[in-house]
């Protein structure tokens, strides 16, 4: 069964808000805020809900960069579809929740070594405001990208 989810990168000046997941498939990794879509929920509504639940921030004017398809556990079958968003338009102060610790990182200090391997391929284009669709094939331990394609739109 394919899981559909969102990730929303919140930008402030030259900083990016990341969450260090305390559970789930991303446990222990820094990531953008997001999560699984609920039944009948649009990707944008899901991103808004997830950001609020995980950070307390209210966001609007989301920019949809595109979608990423993930083939996990060394499988050739699609496992996860992620809708990628970013925004600079938010209100409130980020508050860490049971989902994980939140922290602002300068773009020059993004902790790639503590993130998913695929982030090395698409975070920079996302920060540059590019639109893209991508596919990532992970190894059997989900620690290394074995192959990928990125199509800029």
What is residue 24's predicted lDDT score, i.e. its pLDDT?
A: 87
Give the distance, in angstroms, between the CA of residue 86 and the centroid of all CA atoms in the same chain: 9
Report the percent of the chain where pLDDT is more than 70: 100
What is residue 51's predicted lDDT score, i.e. its pLDDT?
A: 98
What is residue 113's predicted lDDT score, i.e. its pLDDT?
A: 97
Q: What is the pLDDT averaged over residues 73-88?
A: 97
- Separation of alpha carbons 28 and 119, rounded Å: 15
For 148, list phi and psi in degrees, rounded to 5. -155, 160
- Which one is the CATH code of 3-152: 1.10.3210.10, 3.40.50.2020, 3.90.79.10, 3.60.15.10? 3.90.79.10
Rounded to whole angstroms, the maximal C-alpha distance in the chain is 41
Q: Where are the domains of the chain?
A: 3-152
For 18, list phi and psi in degrees, rounded to 5. -125, 155
- Condensed to tens digits (0 to 9), the pLDDT of residues 120-130 reads 999 999 999 99
Token pair of 83 as six digits? 């809708």
């Amino acid at each position: 069964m394919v899981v559909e989810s969102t990730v929303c990168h919140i930008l402030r000046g030259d900083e990016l808000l990341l969450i260090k997941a305390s559970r789930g498939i991303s446990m222990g990794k820094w990531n953008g805020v997001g999560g699984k879509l609920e039944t009948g929920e649009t990707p944008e509504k899901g991103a808004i809900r997830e950001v609020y639940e995980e950070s307390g921030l209210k966001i609007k004017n989301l920019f949809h960069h595109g979608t990423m398809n993930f083939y996990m556990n060394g499988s050739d079958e699609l496992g996860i579809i992620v809708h990628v968003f970013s925004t600079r338009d938010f209100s409130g102060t980020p508050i860490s929740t049971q989902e994980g610790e939140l922290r602002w990182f300068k773009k020059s200090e993004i902790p790639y070594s503590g993130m998913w391997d695929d982030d090395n391929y698409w975070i920079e284009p996302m920060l540059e405001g590019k639109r893209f669709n991508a596919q990532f094939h992970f190894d059997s331990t989900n620690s290394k990208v074995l192959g990928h394609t990125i199509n800029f739109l």
